[in-house]
Amino acid sequence: GDSVTQMEGPVTLSEEAFLTINCTYTATGYPSLFWYVQYPGEGLQLLLKATKADDKGSNKGFEATYRKETTSFHLEKGSVQVSDSAVYFCALTANNFGNEKLTFGTGTRLTIIP
Amino acid sequence: DGGITQSPKYLFRKEGQNVTLSCEQNLNHDAMYWYRQDPGQGLRLIYYSQIVNDFQKGDIAEGYSVSREKKESFPLTVTSAQKNPTAFYLCASSMGRRFGETQYFGPGTRLLVL
């Protein structure tokens, strides 16, 4: 079945450091890929998405590129801020023609130190 | 402002009791979803509904029930048959069931057992 594997956390970085959170997936066909962010005590917010190979999703300084050859969708940001501290989830929907459920990774907790 | 509301924010369940979590959306979305989040895990799908008066079981439907009498509302009942109900419950909606459709999440309800 479909699955998402995320980099184990927690991840702790200093402010202005470069961020990479790894995400790889297994799916039949050509899935759509998502990154969601969850701030403490809140629901999930869509951060970015990509729907086909080589697409780059971007938002708020974060980027991720859909790499079909390596089945990856790594999240990157060039200079993190304290306000980026949150849990980040990689997710996919596979083209199951009527069963468009989101499959999530386990999440990566990110803490940014001033 | 359009969005998804969930209530209450915290809910306490006594042994043998059924409790109902509310989810309302004013986004005019056709599809709605319920997820369960446990510490250190990704989200798991409980139930989903593509259209009024129709819903399907997700991956972990046992011990839960739902209804979809109105487009805007998708309440979740945690029954006494659910032996481990303590979790964070998230409701989501999407415009339809087209491939790659983005799901939007509510703020969540935390259920605790007394």
Whether B51 shows a pLDDT value over 70: the answer reads yes
Residues of A engaging B, defined by a Cβ cutoff of 8 Å: 4, 32, 34, 36, 41-46, 49, 51, 89, 91, 93, 95, 98, 100-107
Mean pLDDT throughout B45-64? 94
* pLDDT score, position A1: 81
| Residue numbers of chain A with a pLDDT score lower than 50 | none
Cβ-based contacts of A42 with chain B (< 8 Å): 107-108
Mean pLDDT throughout B80-106? 86
Instruction: Give the pair of three-digit tokens for residue B96.
Output: 């339809």
**Residue in chain A nearest B110 by alpha carbon:** A41
* pLDDT score, position A110: 96
Whether B84 shows a pLDDT value over 60: the answer reads yes
Beta-strand runs (E) in chain A: 3-6, 11-14, 19-21, 23-26, 32-38, 44-50, 56-59, 62-65, 75-77, 86-93, 102-104, 108-113
Whether B100 shows a pLDDT value over 70: the answer reads no
Instruction: Give the pair of three-digit tokens for residue A40.
Output: 């403490």
Nearest to A105 among B42, B44, B92 (CB): B42
Report pLDDT digits (tens) over B26-40. Answer: 999 999 999 999 987
- In whole angstroms, give the CA distance from residue A112 to residue A91: 23
First-to-last alpha carbon distance for chain B, in angstroms, is 36
Q: Which comes out higher in pLDDT, residue B19 or B102?
A: B19
* pLDDT score, position A106: 92
